[in-house]
């Protein structure tokens, strides 16, 4: 009996090790204005980019709490959820997370590195590492990236990537979001099973994500738009809710 338990335990260990692989962790520090387009509410964030072979996961979490929901008659997304991104170079795939108003997590697929980067001759050191500058326009926003040619991953924070080197610093033109590399360390392992299972489920793409946001806004407008009263003939109700999403949706 003891031998059977030991054998079973050995199989379980082998199984979980097969689902994970050695990884490198790149730590970033930055900030994000969750009131972009409306005002200023900057908070500090920590970013983590875990790279294991041709796969990676980036997460960006705020230092503190944030309440999701209807705030000041606007439809707010949880500002850190849309910055969780899984990339798979081998299959040319990308998944990103969205948390709805009920705090339920959903993943959608998007195109991997569609950015049309313009490389420049500008250079500077980030953490003692020589970096070059590149700029692009992506889904309604302009971005600047500083990448390190000596670190040959075509990776970066969030969905950004496709440059000849790891992006160590990135920010948008309006100054609402920024991430800057602070340290590198070895990660014991990177469990790929969760994301690989998602990939096999045929995750819906970005058009479905945009349609979902628009439909949610329409339902909220119907619920909160109100009316001018039963005796008003020909009156029109003007909904006051607005959708704010980081990637601009037409």
pTM over 0.75: yes
30 inside domain:
yes
Flag whether 136 is in a domain. Answer: yes
Considering the domain boundaries, does residue 63 fall inside one?
yes
The reply to whether 112 falls in a domain is yes
- Tens digits of residue pLDDT in 113-169: 999 999 999 999 999 999 999 999 999 999 999 999 999 999 999 999 999 999 999
Confidence class for position 225, pLDDT limits 50, 70, 90: low
Q: Is 216 left (phi over 0), alpha (psi -120 to 50) or beta?
A: alpha
Distance from C-alpha of 78 to C-alpha of 221, rounded to nearest angstrom: 19
Tell me if residue 102 falls in helix, strand or coil.
coil
- Rounded CA-CA distance 203/27 in Å is 28
According to the 3-state scheme, what is the secondary structure of the chain? CHHHHHHHHHHHHHHHHHCEEEEEEEEEEEEEECCCCCCCCEEEEEEEEEEECCEEEEEEEECCCCCCEEECCEEECCCCHHHCEEEECCCCEEEEEEECCCCCEEEEEECCCCCCCEEEEEEEEECCEEEEEEEEEECCEEEEEEEECCCCCCCCCCCCCCCCCEEEEEEECCCCEEEEEEEEEEEEEEECHHHHHHHCCCCCCHHHHHHHHHHHHHHHHHHHCCCCCCCCCCCCCCCCCEEECCCCCC
Given a contact cutoff of 8 angstroms between Cβ atoms, the answer to whether 34 and 79 are in contact is: yes
Residue-wise pLDDT tens digits, 230-250? 443 333 444 556 777 888 887
Query: Is residue 228 a part of any domain in this protein?
Result: no
- What domain range includes position 26? 20-215
Listed in sequence order, the residues at least 6 apart from 91 whose beta carbon sits closer than 8 Å to its beta carbon are: 199
Q: Give domain status of residue 130, yes or no.
A: yes
Q: Give all strands (DSSP E) within 194-233, no chain letters.
A: none
Residue 7 has pLDDT above 80, yes or no: no
Say how far residue 33 (Cα) sits from the centre of its chain: 15
Domain assignment of residue 185, yes or no: yes
Q: Is a pLDDT exceeding 80 seen at residue 198?
A: yes
How many domains is the chain built from? Answer: 1
Quote the CA–CA distance of 49 and 47 in Å, as a whole number.
Answer: 7
In a domain, 152, yes or no: yes
pLDDT at res. 147: 98
Q: Quick one: pLDDT band at residue 14, thresholds 50, 70, 90?
A: very low
Cβ 88 vs Cβ 190: under 8 Å: no
Can you give the CATH number for the domain in which 185 is found? 2.50.20
CA dist., res. 31 & res. 180, Å (int): 9
pLDDT at position 1: 43
134 CB neighbour count, 10 Å cutoff? 23
């Amino acid at each position: 009996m003891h031998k059977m338990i030991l054998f079973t335990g050995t199989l379980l260990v082998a199984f979980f090790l097969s689902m994970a692989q050695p990884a490198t962790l790149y730590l970033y520090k930055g900030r994000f204005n969750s009131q972009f387009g409306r005002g200023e509410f900057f908070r500090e964030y920590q970013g983590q980019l875990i790279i294991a072979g041709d796969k990676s996961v980036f997460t960006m979490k705020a230092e503190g709490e944030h309440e999701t929901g209807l705030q000041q008659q606007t439809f707010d997304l949880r500002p850190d959820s849309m910055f969780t991104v899984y990339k798979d170079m081998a299959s040319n795939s990308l998944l990103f997370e969205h948390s709805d108003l009920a705090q339920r997590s959903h993943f959608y697929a998007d195109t991997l590195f569609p950015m049309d980067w313009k490389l420049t001759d500008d250079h500077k050191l980030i953490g003692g590492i020589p970096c070059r500058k590149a700029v692009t326009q992506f889904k309604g926003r302009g971005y600047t990236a500083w990448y390190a040619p000596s670190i040959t991953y075509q990776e970066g924070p969030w969905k950004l990537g496709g440059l000849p080197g790891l992006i160590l610093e990135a920010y948008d033109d309006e100054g609402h979001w920024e991430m800057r590399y602070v340290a590198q360390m070895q990660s014991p392992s990177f469990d790929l099973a969760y994301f690989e299972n998602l990939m096999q489920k045929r995750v819906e793409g970005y058009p479905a994500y945009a349609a979902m946001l628009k439909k949610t806004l329409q339902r909220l407008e119907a619920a909160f738009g109100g009316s001018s009263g039963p005796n008003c003939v020909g009156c029109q109700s003007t909904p006051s809710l607005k959708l704010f999403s980081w990637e601009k949706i037409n």
